[in-house]
Amino acid sequence: MTDPDVFREALNDFSLMSEGEAMTGKPSVQPSTLAFGTVVRAAPIAEGGELVLLDWDSKTVEATVPIRPRNPTIEEDPNPRGNGRGCRGVRQANGRLVASTYHTLELYDDHLNQMGAISGGLMAGLHEIALTDRGTVWVTSTAIDATVEYNLETGDRIRAYWPREMDGLQAALGLRPLDIDKSADNRLRFLDPAATDAESHLHLNAVEVHDGALYALFNAYGVVANLTTEEVVLEHEHLRGGHNLVIGDDGIAIVNDSFGKAVQFYDLDAGQLQRTIDLTEFEWVRDLIRWEVPMYWGKEALRKFGGIEGSVAKPLFVRGLARREDTLFIGVSPAAILQVDVATEALVDAYQYSSNVHACIHGLAVLDDTAFQAGA
């Protein structure tokens, strides 16, 4: 018997093969360079993704470097999804580019020459990175539901937040602490998918600093929490399964609705959804996935009835998010980047990096070239 929810999802996907809205043209302000990370699902670890520098104006790839877990290496990954593969969070900090692998922060210059690396026992399943006004970074250690602050100059761990141990969040969400030895090397202990399917797992995959407080996205619960005050500030169905968290000076929190093929805007103070940008309304996006949709559902049918094994990569998985003034950059699969005007919600430009539906954008940052020069 066919699951009615799956049937409705398939009908919605096939409707995307019709035409949508066209691009409107170039915005008034153009960034110079984007940095982004990719993850290739089901690929060998050594081919699981890379860090890329892209001149946005000319759509020219300036440099690439393969990203794989090193010291310790991961030879076999029991999870065919992203897991141990590729480049996750990407941020520019202190004149360097900071990119996260599964268990390490790697530091690069503006030509992607590696300048150093920081790793530690509380780094496991790293995702996004957030900057502080002190020049330090917070990194999400998603596999163990923690966020950890590091000094990029010394490599020292400053502190860690454990939301599942916070009284306020335990009461609000019914959480139980993770059974973990925090003094041990946990970098390879949570590779098995069962570890992230356990009770109370938050899948904490994004953090952002705003007005002196640290906010985190709990992907598995559909929640954004203020970790400084130990409070749930947003709870919404479209946050469940979401990625990335960008909070503007106006207090609007923007999150990628990864499975909903959309970007959601929330009023942080009111705790409410403000508006939605449906990416499937754009003709360029529909063209991107027009023939991937029937291929996906054909493979999914074969997988369901035992014809093929493993997971099937879904087209238009939305992940990777960066904002520069009134311009939003959004990552989708197959690996592509959309440039959207925040005010008009129009698609003004786009770029496809790969036609492989298994290749997804993960981390995404708009770079300031003068910041590289200042940090040199």
pTM for the predicted model, two decimal places: 0.90
Tens digits of pLDDT across the chain (376 residues): 345 454 444 435 544 444 545 566 655 455 689 999 999 988 888 899 999 999 999 999 999 999 999 999 998 888 888 889 999 999 999 999 999 999 999 999 999 999 999 999 999 999 999 999 999 999 999 999 999 999 999 999 999 999 999 999 999 999 999 999 999 999 999 998 888 888 999 999 999 999 999 999 999 999 999 999 999 999 999 999 999 999 999 999 999 999 999 999 999 999 999 999 999 999 999 998 876 655 544 544 544 555 545 554 678 899 999 999 999 999 999 999 999 999 999 999 999 999 888 899 999 999 987 766 555 5
Q: Would you state the structure tokens that stand for residue 116, as one six-digit string?
A: 């150093």
State the total domains in the chain: 1
Helix (H, G, I), strand (E, B) or coil at 313: coil
How many angstroms separate the CA atoms of 347 and 115, rounded?
A: 36
> Quick count: other Cβ atoms within 10 Å of Cβ 198?
12
Q: Would you state the structure tokens that stand for residue 169, as one six-digit string?
A: 């969040």
Question: Using an 8 Å Cβ cutoff, are 306 and 312 in contact?
Answer: no
How many angstroms separate the CA atoms of 275 and 90, rounded?
A: 26
Q: What length does the chain have?
A: 376
Cis peptide before 334, with omega less than 30 degrees from 0? yes
Residue that has been written with the tokens 């509380």 in this structure: 122
Secondary structure tally for the chain: helices H, strands E: 5, 24
pLDDT of residue 194: 85
> Which residue range is the domain that position 132 belongs to?
4-375
How many angstroms separate the CA atoms of 202 and 209, rounded?
A: 19
- Which of 105, 99, 97, 98 is CA-nearest to residue 122? 105
How many angstroms separate the CA atoms of 294 and 14, rounded?
A: 7
Q: Would you state the structure tokens that stand for residue 354, as one six-digit string?
A: 């790969």
- Which of 255, 252, 215 is CA-nearest to residue 233? 215
Q: Would you state the structure tokens that stand for residue 223, as one six-digit string?
A: 């929640």
Instruction: Give me the CATH number covering residue 224.
Output: 2.120.10.30
Residue that has been written with the tokens 């940095």 in this structure: 35
pLDDT of residue 201: 97
- Which of 84, 86, 111 is CA-nearest to residue 99? 86
Helix pair angle (292-304, 4-15), 10° resolution: 160
- Which of 213, 191, 107, 189 is CA-nearest to residue 150? 107
Question: Using an 8 Å Cβ cutoff, are 173 and 221 in contact?
Answer: yes
